[in-house]
Structure 1
Amino acid sequence: MQAQSRPSRRRTYALLASAAGLATAAALASALPADAHSGKGHGHQHPGRYQDVQLLSFNDLHGNLEPPSGSSGRVTETQADGTTKTIDAGGVEYLATHLREARKGHPYSVTAAGGDMVGASPLISGLFHDEPTIEALNKLDLDVTTVGNHEFDEGARELARLQNGGCHPTDGCYTDKKFKGADFPYLAANVLDEKTDKPILKPYWVWQKKDVRIGFIGVTLEGTPGIVSADGVKGLAFKDEVETINKYAKVLQRQGVQSIVALVHEGGFPSSSSYNYDCDSPGAGSGISGPIVDIAKNVTPAVDALVTGHTHTAYVCTVDDPAGNPRMVTSAASFGRLYTDTTLTYDRRTGDIARTAVQSANHVVTRDVAKAPDMTELIGKWNTLAAPIGNRAIGYIAADVNNTGTESPMGDLIADAQFAYGRELDPGTDLALMNPGGVRAGLTYAAKGSEGDGVVTYAEGFTVQPFANTVNLQDFTGAQLIQVLKEQVSGTNAAAPKILQPSANLTYTLDLTKTGADRVVTDSVKLNGTAVDPAATYRVATNSFLAGGGDGFTTLGQGTGDLVGTDDLSALAQYLTANSSATSPLAPPAANRITIVQ
């Protein structure tokens, strides 16, 4: 697979020397028997002391069975001369081929995932409550995954159905065969039923082949309730990630399992957007920042590696554990564009991983390999069922409407659509705000298929807005509105700002040279060119997630005069239909409503 996976980094890291007198990593390496990686003993009569176990992993698939379009379907690769190039990547037909090829020659191989396998999915999966994605993951031979926040988009009961099978409670069965559920366990160690105080799914799982055993503990971010609708997490408690992992690491050790991998649906931000960036290289500093760093620094040394996700970034880094020893922390971006190949060297004498020999690298899921026929068949089956709905044209665009940047053209377009719909619902509507996390993709001018350049289909719109939130109207004072804007860059959003996408009539300045709430220049906030009056009342359109105070916007949960409208995708489709045609396509918004000072 070397030619197919593109140039990629293989890295080995060394532990600090032990008190037993191994003064250097070289000395420790020389202490390993010659058959350390052969899996065979002298004379090939018995297994050797060391056995290489291949750990393949990926994260944040989000039901992207077909190759993602636009920037969502590309990765950046750094070349030997320091330049970068982009590579088209992703699609389960190709992911299956890459994983199956990677497993060849590795009799000890386990495949794990870092959460968000489903949720916020394109139409082919989302329309059928992600049953197609579970079927695809079964065919991929996924062994285990943790839950992510999006596994709770439809609540714990629906998550249990994805695990155990059965027809949807309201939609019924989509085919003549009953949905059988996941062949692999979902792990949810830190997600407790508030009534029983017990995990809603298995907290851990042990992979075993012959005498080799590796335990997996799965957790999602403790802050899941703040980024999922209230109905999705009703009756659930989300506990601290580190405390939970440490708790179950002890449980596994008491059962004699010394090799442990944590699947953590929380992530970090590497210093480079290139998937093959060496974040442990000299001069790179820590190479990674964000919540996963503190988690990795505090998770017990009993855990040998962390497979992570959530931030949709790519990294293969080492972060010191509490004992000061480096430990591998990986993430494979999102949407099935990458997979991580990690070699864990299992010590049969101790039952633990010899961390001196751990190797890991991210590989691109290129589209220059043969498609897996079983995945092509699966996609064809579900596309046939979705076609009557998905192929309907809802509008026309003159160019790509990208979902990139602090303020994105796609986010602005959605805000404009919700503002227009709000004005129909209540002519007194003053503005609209859209959360960036609710914008899952952009619109591509030359989309796949045969519908014609510039045509926006319902399926493409669904990919952009798959959550089925409603458009809600609420009243806020001008002071509250300004506070909402400050909450973008303060409180829980201080470290990782969530910049709301505004309708065209709201403008302001964001000064990134300042810190916290001061980054919003208060006297620059204007509506229709006039300064917002702190004492006046304004009617604001948002989606139902924001109207409930989601994403750390607590002030948006304090509005009055609530009025609930249609779902947000219908509002977008209605806007595109009304404002575009084949002869007069819609131009992408200029994304110039927020003036950014850097």
Structure 2
Amino acid sequence: MTRRLTQGLAAAAIAGACAVSLAMPATASGHGPDSSGKGHGFDPTIPIQLLSYNDFHGNLEAPSGSGGRVVVDHKLDPTTGLPVDVTVDAGGAEYMSTHLKQLRKNKWSSFTVTAGDLIGASPLLSAAFHDEKTIDALSMMGTDASAVGNHEFDEGSTELLRMQKGGCLNDGDGANNQNSCPDGAGTYKGAKFAYLDANVIREDTGKTLLPSYTVKWKGGIPVAFVGLTLKETPDIVTASGIKGLKFEDEVKSANALVPVLKRRGINAMVILIHQGGNLPKEDWKGPDGKTYQVNPSYNYVCGKGGALAPDSPIIPIAKGLDPAYDAIVTGHTHQSYSCNIPDPKGQPRTVTSASSFGRQITETTLPFSLRTLDIVRSKVTTRDVIVTRDVAKDPKMTSLIASSQEKVAPIANKVLGTITTDVTKTQNAAGESPLGDLIADAQLADPSTVTGGKTPQIAFMNPGGIRADLPFAPDNGSVTFGDAFTVQPFNNYLVSLDLTGADIYALLNQQWNGTNAASPKVLQISKGFTYSWSAATKQVVPGSVKLNGAAIDQATSYRVVTNNFLQGGGDGFAAFTKGTGVYYGGLDIDGFAAYLQKVSPYTPAALDRITVQ
């Protein structure tokens, strides 16, 4: 049975290659059949094109600020003599769609895949419609398959299933600034691509929430795509969103599928995983002959003067995945890289990531052997393509965006207040940021969390929940609701609770320890709360934790406010779950918007709440 199937695949591939060779000349780059080959008059390996992206996060419009730029080179600043990044503007669905079409042109076997977080933490234009418009756009772009990312669970597993299958929500026609199916009942049809999660298991059935894999055929060649969600998802999403689900080991889940796929006669296999690597600073030799440490550029290549940071979570996963997998498409860390990480047999294997927000596409060429009906790993090549904005806009994307802009305009364009300068999420050496201060102060001031006469005294905000800067508008520094939503797009609820002083010490120490040891997460704190921490011990300095100048008493209870994500122990902050007297208030974005109106015009204060020794 398997022999007949593989013989059929070979015949289909040969027929497809011969058909294409009539319309497509041989090329030196290897993107077409080579008429100088032997046997059937073509090269025995046929190039499969794999186009991949990740972490789109609903960025239908071209992202602005640092989120819309890609580092392409470096130069020396003539004033300071120090290196600065050379960047280009990138991203936007209108341009991304055109780039994908151009890349696929004359490619007879092309697949478009992604490593997850297509939705969630999205700008208002997408989030206002429950990200339905993003799924529509990415379907229209020809996406074939995607891993499920942690942000796909932002509105819960039931909502994720709706994203795949379609249907409308009865959400009150705009309640909480959201509106499902704005074009009419039944207009959201679901994703035309396959969401995959081989390691997300329903506790009630023991089966995966969504399919583990999909087999796609293009040009007569079948390729299997296996999707994986990072197993740490329970630590970084709201607990209620994943209730009843287990997140199992990525390597074990993927390797168990290899014999299943081989029994189907499938040899070409690709992993799509929402987990990734981190990049260290890159060596750059300036025109003055000196070597500097600079931010990595978009075409960062491991093995050519660079390498992933040794604590990158994707490294042990890549080293453990079965050698049958031919390539690994990654995401989650929003980095740009193309690397080779050895498989369990010591053979190099391509591992890629294409930045985030639709700013980049990775093109991987997988030579498919007509003799072995498998990928020739030694001949796999990759290249990075920036989604530049110098190409024609796809009119279908333009129409989709314009329609959404019209519907969301009354909400998005409401001016909340003004700022006198950029308010950024960039953290100083101690971990404090101007925007973090502003958001924490807004949480503390929100009256919706006051209950039983208890008013919060301290606010905590997770840095990962601050998604963008507040840039100074060229006209008068105005800040709109759309601007504010881009900063805080999760629609989390503010929650007040009682923590003891001992709990607060434990909470602060969890910023650099436990699950945060490899990637510290310094919480942003409200005005009047201060402390110092030791860079040597990664611990809070005893006695330094103070509220309005008075030392925190570890035996005393304090009323704090945070968001429901942290209150549930998210981001590794288990100390929050020790809280008592839990009370849910309003949405975080509403509190932020109200505070901006109250403090306008706003000027950031000195960063003096957190100090490091």
Give the TM-score of the pair, scaled to structure 2.
0.86
The reply to whether residue 102 of structure 1 matches residue 103 of structure 2 is yes
Report what 1:12 is aligned to.
none
The answer as to whether partners of 2:59 and 2:93 remain within 8 angstroms in 1 is yes
Distance apart, 1:50 and its partner CA: 0.2
1:250 deviation in Å?
2.3
Residue type matched to 1:296 in 2?
A
Asked whether the equivalents of residues 30 and 47 of structure 2 are also in contact (C-alpha less than 8 Å), the reply is no
The within-5 A match list for 1:303-318 is: 303-318=325-340
The answer to which of 305-314 and 265-274 deviates more is 265-274
SS in 2 for 1:270: coil
CA drift of 1:198 comes to 0.7
Task: Out of 220-229 and 39-48, give the one that drifted further.
Answer: 39-48
DSSP 3-state at the match of 1:352: coil
Pick closer, same or farther for the CA change 1:321–1:424 going to 2, 3 Å. Answer: closer
Tell me the distance in 2 between the aligned counterparts of 1:256 and 1:546. Answer: 46
Q: Which amino acid aligns with 2:181?
A: C
What residue is the counterpart of 2:553 in the other structure? 533
Name the SS for the 1:303 alignment partner.
Answer: coil
Could you give the per-residue CA deviations for residues 96-124 of structure 1, whole angstroms, max 9, x where no partner exists? 12211122232211100000000111111
* Corresponding letter in the other structure for 1:488: Q
CA displacement at 1:143 relative to structure 2: 1.0
**Which residue of structure 2 lines up, in the alignment, with residue 595 of structure 1?**
611
1:373-431: per-residue Cα shift (whole Å, max 9, x none)?
21111100011111111111112111111122232222221101001115972564211
2:180 maps to 1:178: no
CA distance 1:483–1:334, shift in 2 (3 Å): same
Q: Is the 8 A contact 1:166 1:179 kept in 2?
A: yes
- Supply the distance in 2 between the matched residues of 1:175 and 1:274 (Cα, whole angstroms): 43
Q: Relative to 1, partners in 2 of residues 1:247 and 1:43: Cα closer, same or farther, differing over 3 Å? A: closer
Superimposed CA distance per residue, residues 404-463 of structure 1 (whole angstroms, 9 cap, x where no aligned partner):
22322222211010011159725642110001121111212127xxxx441111111111
The code of the aligned residue for 1:431 comes to: I
Q: Which amino acid aligns with 2:607?
A: A
Q: Pick from 331, 345, 348 the counterpart of residue 323 of structure 1.
A: 345
User: How do residues 251-330 of structure 1 correspond to structure 2 at under 5 angstroms?
Assistant: 251-272=260-281, 273-276=295-298, 278-281=300-303, 284=306, 289-330=311-352
Structure 1 contact 163–185 (Cα < 8 Å) conserved: yes
Q: Distance in 1 between matches of 2:413 and 2:148?
A: 32
Change (3 A) 1:34 1:338: closer
Residue 532 of structure 1, CA deviation: 1.5
- The amino acid across from 1:265 in the alignment is H
Report the equivalent of 1:212: 221
State the Cα deviation string for residues 265-307 of structure 1 (Å, max 9, x = none): 0111012342335443455355564110110111111111110
Within the alignment, does 1:507 sit opposite 2:530 as a pair?
Answer: yes
Report the equivalent of 1:53: 48
8 Å contact kept, 2:70–2:297: yes
Query: What SS does the aligned partner of 1:353 have?
Result: coil
Among candidates 500, 515, 519, match of residue 492 of structure 1: 515
Which residue of 2 is the match for residue 377 of structure 1?
Answer: 399
Superposed CA offset, 1:354-374 (max 9, x none): 111111122221222222221
Rate the CA distance shift 1:42–1:88 in 2: closer, same or farther, 3 A. closer
Cα contact 1:280–1:287 (8 A) shared by 2? no
CA distance in 1, matches of 2:373, 2:449: 66
Q: Does the 8 Å CA contact 1:36/1:48 hold for their aligned counterparts?
A: no
Describe the SS at the equivalent of 1:315: strand
Which structure 2 residues correspond to residues 216-255 of structure 1 after superposition, within 5 A?
216-255=225-264
CA contact (8 A) 2:302 2:337 kept: no
**Distance in 1 separating the partners of 2:258 and 2:530:** 50
Letter in 1 for 2:571: D
- Structure 1: gaps of 5 or more residues: 1-32
Task: Indicate if the aligned counterparts of 1:36 and 1:50 stay in contact, CA closer than 8 A.
Answer: no
1:410 corresponds to: 435
Aligned to 1:119: 120
Letter in 2 for 1:595: T
SS at match of 1:326: coil
Contact map agreement 1:96 1:372 (CA 8 A) in 2 = yes
Superposed, which structure 2 residues align to 1:51-200 within 5 Å? 51-79=46-74, 84-171=85-172, 173-176=181-184, 178-200=187-209
Structure 2 residue aligned with 1:30: none
Paired with 2:349 and 2:107, the residues of 1 have a C-alpha distance of 23
User: Bigger CA drift: 272-281 or 460-469?
Assistant: 272-281
Maintained 8 Å contact 1:36/1:49? no
CA distance in 1, matches of 2:162, 2:544: 49
- Give the conservation status (yes or no) of the 8 Å contact 1:213–1:351: no
Distance 2:206 2:64 in 1: 42
Unaligned runs of 5+ in 2: 1-27, 77-82, 173-179, 282-294
Contact 2:108 2:218 in 1 (8 A): no
Deviation at 1:329, TM superposition (A): 0.8
Give the aligned partner of residue 9 of structure 1: none
Give the 3 Å change call, closer, same or farther, for CA 40–213 of structure 1 in structure 2.
Answer: farther
User: Which stretch has the larger CA shift, 358-367 or 322-331?
Assistant: 358-367
In structure 2, the CA distance between the partners of 1:263 and 1:424, relative to structure 1 (3 Å rule), is closer
Q: Counterparts of 1:457 and 1:466 in 2: how far apart (Å)?
A: 14
1:586 aligns with 2:608: no
Distance 1:344 1:80 in 2: 35
Change (3 A) 1:510 1:170: same
CA contact (8 A) 2:365 2:380 kept: yes
Q: 1:570 aligns with which of 579, 590, 607?
A: 590
Relative distance call for 1:346 and 1:435 in structure 2 (3 A) is: same
Distance 1:197 1:40, change over 3 A: farther
Is the alpha carbon distance of 1:78 and 1:281 closer, same or farther for their aligned partners in structure 2, counting shifts above 3 Å? farther
Letter in 2 for 1:233: I
Post-superposition offset of 1:490 = 0.7
Instruction: Report the Cα distance in structure 2 between the residues aligned to 1:277 and 1:287, rounded to whole angstroms.
Output: 16
Change (3 A) 1:95 1:323: same
> 1:483 and 1:467, CA in 2 relative to 1: closer, same or farther beyond 3 A?
same
Checking the alignment, whether the CA contact within 8 Å between 1:114 and 1:265 is kept in structure 2 is: yes
Task: Label 1:511 to 1:339 Cα distance change in 2 as closer, same or farther (>3 A).
Answer: farther
CA distance in 1, matches of 2:499, 2:379: 58
Name the amino acid aligned to 1:409: P
Q: How far is 1:190 from its partner?
A: 0.9
